[in-house]
Amino acid sequence: MSIPFFPPDLFDGDLLLEVVEEVGLAPDQRFILGTRTAEFEAVLRDALGVADAVACGSGTGALTLALRAMGVGPGDEVIVPAYGCAPLASAPLVLGATPVFADVDPWTVVVDPAEVDKLVTERTKVIMPAHVFSVMADMPALRRIATGAGVRLLEDSAVGQGGVLAGRAAGTWGDAGVFSFVQVKTFGMPGEGGMVVTGDPALAREVRMLRNHGQDGVHRFVHHRVGFNSRFDEVMAAFQLRRFATLPDRLARRAAIGEYYTSRFADLAGRGVLAPPPGRDGRCFYVYSLLADRRDALRDHLAGRGIGSHVYYPAPLPRQPAFARHARPDRDWPAAASAARRQLAIPIHPHLTDAQVERIADEVCRFAATSGAHG
């Protein structure tokens, strides 16, 4: 039997139908920014212990709104990882700011604080690290850099839901944090959605206004800011509320699978396959990603045995056509380029059985043990 990378049965279809009926037949007929959205915001706010949580139309929208609420605009610089998802670069650019690309750690592939520190200038407005795959960025070091430089820290926790570093939840280290609920995330849902969480009530008020065309939620059709349409769906809010209680179990299953993989792969580094660092502190287990010297050969090996895998980010952000002209031509990002060549994710979703997880690990180890694994 094949093991797909993305499971075909992520969600309970009956639950989705139930919440569609619940919202669709409700007397108020409110499909966006209603009572369920407010309740969902309150649930995440209280769970994380932050001042406020503001639901948005997508994770990308949440990033853009948070940057705009921080005053980012033309002439400003936002330091972002050179390896990661496109919104890290596009969100500053749509506001007229310049993304400044910092290289990543060659093992964890999260942004390197030492590289960030070297890039801070008088034009830096925000430092925007991102958690990547199953590893959280070094938020204590980045917090120190941002505080010392007097700039804002925006934590892209799109993949980090449930992660904890040094006893502090992902999304709560920065002046604001951002989550994504797109389908395959750890708290994904069958639609688009995101959340800005913050300990700064004034920043939350600004985000809340910006997400709804600059309206304050009290006076309709009075626009205090030039805003956006990034509003949250009531059906999705109801769906997430129903599933929140079981999120810890799903996270624990992902973590257990990740720990098993790491224990199985601990001795493969000398054979061209590098696993993420061990442990649970600073981990999020959204995606379990290997760095393989012969990435394409490993992908083909797994595919030939019915095991799905996935390549993320095949080029560093400053080498993408959309962003290359905004990158400094005199700079290079060797660790990001290496990650783009070597990264391969294997299945880690909570629907995997123990037998499937063992089979996946067996095949990775079998590939590494062959003489061709060295290149």
Residues with a catalytic annotation lie at 185
- Let me know: does 272 contact 245? Beta carbons within 8 Å: no
**Bridge pairing between strands 176-180 and 124-127:** unpaired
Neighbour order of strands in the sheet with 343-346: 273-274, 288-292, 343-346
Q: How many CB atoms lie within 10 A of CB 48?
A: 20
Question: Can you spell out the DSSP letters for 293-317?
Answer: TTHHHHHHHHHHTTB--B---SS-G
- Let me know: does 137 contact 150? Beta carbons within 8 Å: no
Question: Can you spell out the DSSP letters for 100-163?
Answer: EEE-B-TTT-SBPHHHHHHH--TTEEEE--B-BTTB---HHHHHHHHHHHT-EEEEE-TT-TT-
Residue 265: closest CA among 275, 256, 255, 254: 275
Distance separating alpha carbons of residues 168 and 342, to the nearest angstrom: 31
CA angle 344, 348, 350 (to 5 degrees): 165
